[in-house]
Amino acid sequence: MQHVSPIREPLVTGGKTYHDITEDVSRQVEAKPNIRWATALAISLVGLAIFAYSVYRTLWYGIGEWGLNKTVGWAWDITNFVWWVGIGHAGTLISAVLLLFRQKWRSSINRAAEAMTIFAVICAAMFPVLHMGRPWLAYWVLPLPNTFGSLWVNFNSPLLWDVFAISTYFSVSLVFWYIGLIPDFATIRDRATGPIAKRAYALLSFGWTGSAKAWSRYETVSLILAGVATPLVLSVHTIVSMDFATSVIPGWHTTIFPPYFVAGAIFSGFAMVLTLMIITRKVYKLEDYITIEHVESMNKVIITTGSIVGIAYITEFFIAWYSQVEYEQYTFINRAFGPYWWAYWSMMTCNVITPQLFWIRKIRRSLTATFIISIFVNIGMWFERFVIIVTSLHRDYLPSSWAMFSPTAIDVGVYVGTFGLFFTLFFLFAKYFPVVNMAEVKAILKSSSGVTHSHTKTMHATEKELNTNTRHNNE
């Protein structure tokens, strides 16, 4: 028994029963693909084709296809990498951190958010692998004894830490997501009618029966996985920030980077979750599960992390002045008023000003406003990485090596292409996997549906079912 505050809004509305939850979520999986879904997938596949072509050009002709030059050796590739990894962080935060904090509103959004994490990390991983130029030798980043003598990888390098961090993050997130999917696959398996669906979901469900013993272990495993995933998600963006912070370059070499990057990652990730969830709830008619209350809670996370990011921008500027290092000072003046001023001010507007609108309750609870602001935040966070990376590099110590960076069509193609990859994966997920965690929503239904249930009127709303009950009892 737990206390439920009367001022809390219900997390599941519409007086749902357990069976309604199963019906509402499984409907999408069991229905034949409709034309809207097919169109959306077709558009994503066009994006995927753009990705394939850009990758082909990058690999066949080499990295010269990108707009990099001798001064700006890192630009869109690393910007996109950090951007996608950052987006991924929201999924783990929702599934792990909010589980530890016992935030029940995570239940109906964690499935889709975790899927987003996994797909975003896949997109992110494309960039460093492609930047290797010869991705078929990507396994050289692993500590393997090689044929040129047992020269090992450099464990002092943050780029190597990234290899370990991203691959651990990806595999642990995948396992966490899959464990949560098993009971729901079992539900779909037991409802399936077609021979292929029956077998496919039986395979995916790993023979889950929902016995009390299995549930007990399942809960333990979820809790421990949440416990290890929480420091993991913080470590990943910390290590990503160290790619910059450990190098002695003005604008990068700051100790503020790890917390600043982690906050930024959560900020952009929640924005992406909102963008996706506002569409998903509408298309899949899940308004009773992903309520305005959920949107508002996420907007509160956005305003918190957005303000942390804003303070970080101001702190950076202050420290540049306070350090009395002229190179550091120049970098920051150049960021705000140099040739890339438009990128800096886009970042400031999108990341610092727009999320502050969420202080107003009406905006926080408006779907249209939330959707627009979430897009702004995503744009702003892309510019943040671009600003940090390109403006710190493009004016080197020697003015003779100053250069500007402009992306080529292939740069744009790879970036746009990862959207194709992301949405192709996301649409396939949304069609064949349950987008809401049915078991977890059922578990919170009694305490958070806003409907009072008593023993005599157990979970049933209709007269018909009540009659059935009486008949059984009289038999």
Q: Considering only CA atoms, which of 305, 372, 297 is closest in space to residue 108? A: 297
Residue with tokens 């499984």: 26
Q: Are 323 and 356 in contact (CB under 8 A)?
A: no
Q: From the CB of 1, what's the least distance to other proteins, in Å?
A: 9
Question: Backbone phi, then psi, for 149, in 5-degree steps?
Answer: 100, 160
Q: From the CB of 433, what's the least distance to other proteins, in Å?
A: 16
Nearer to other proteins, 192 or 373 (CB): 192
Residue with tokens 């596949």: 45
Contacts of 316 (CB under 8 A, 6+ apart): 254, 256, 332
Q: From the CB of 175, what's the least distance to other proteins, in Å?
A: 5
Both structure tokens of 311: 């303070």
Nearer to other proteins, 136 or 139 (CB): 139
Q: From the CB of 264, what's the least distance to other proteins, in Å?
A: 19
Return d(Cα 48, Cα 423) in angstroms, integer: 9
Return d(Cα 290, Cα 125) in angstroms, integer: 30
> At CA 306, angle to CA 303 and CA 311, rounded to 5?
125
Return d(Cα 236, Cα 395) in angstroms, integer: 29
Nearer to other proteins, 46 or 202 (CB): 202
Q: Which residues pair with 10 in a beta bridge?
A: none
Nearer to other proteins, 230 or 354 (CB): 230
Q: Which residues pair with 149 in a beta bridge?
A: 146
DSSP 260-310: HHHHHHHHHHHHHHHHHHHHHHHHTT-TTTS-HHHHHHHHHHHHHHHHHHH
- One-letter amino acid at 353 equals I
Nearer to other proteins, 66 or 433 (CB): 433
What is the CB-side half-sphere exposure of residue 383 using CA atoms within 13 A? Answer: 22
Both structure tokens of 373: 């602001």
- One-letter amino acid at 211 equals S
R_g of the chain, CA atoms, integer Å: 25
Q: From the CB of 92, what's the least distance to other proteins, in Å?
A: 12
Nearer to other proteins, 11 or 309 (CB): 11
Nearer to other proteins, 8 or 199 (CB): 199
Q: From the CB of 384, what's the least distance to other proteins, in Å?
A: 23
Nearer to other proteins, 148 or 342 (CB): 148
Both structure tokens of 472: 């059984």
Q: From the CB of 226, what's the least distance to other proteins, in Å?
A: 11
Residue with tokens 């394939």: 52
Return d(Cα 104, Cα 380) in angstroms, integer: 30
Nearer to other proteins, 406 or 454 (CB): 454
Task: Give the H/E segment covering residue 353.
Answer: none
Q: From the CB of 396, what's the least distance to other proteins, in Å?
A: 21
Q: From the CB of 438, what's the least distance to other proteins, in Å?
A: 8
Return d(Cα 86, Cα 329) in angstroms, integer: 27
Q: Are 413 and 54 in contact (CB under 8 A)?
A: yes
Q: Considering only CA atoms, which of 303, 315, 393, 379 is closest in space to residue 342? A: 379
Residue with tokens 């990652």: 265
Q: From the CB of 463, what's the least distance to other proteins, in Å?
A: 16
Q: From the CB of 221, what's the least distance to other proteins, in Å?
A: 5
Nearer to other proteins, 57 or 253 (CB): 253
Task: Report the phi/psi class of residue 458: left, alpha or beta, with left for phi > 0 and alpha for psi in -120 to 50.
Answer: beta
Nearer to other proteins, 22 or 374 (CB): 22
> At CA 136, angle to CA 132 and CA 141, rounded to 5?
60
Nearer to other proteins, 365 or 446 (CB): 446
Q: From the CB of 268, what's the least distance to other proteins, in Å?
A: 23
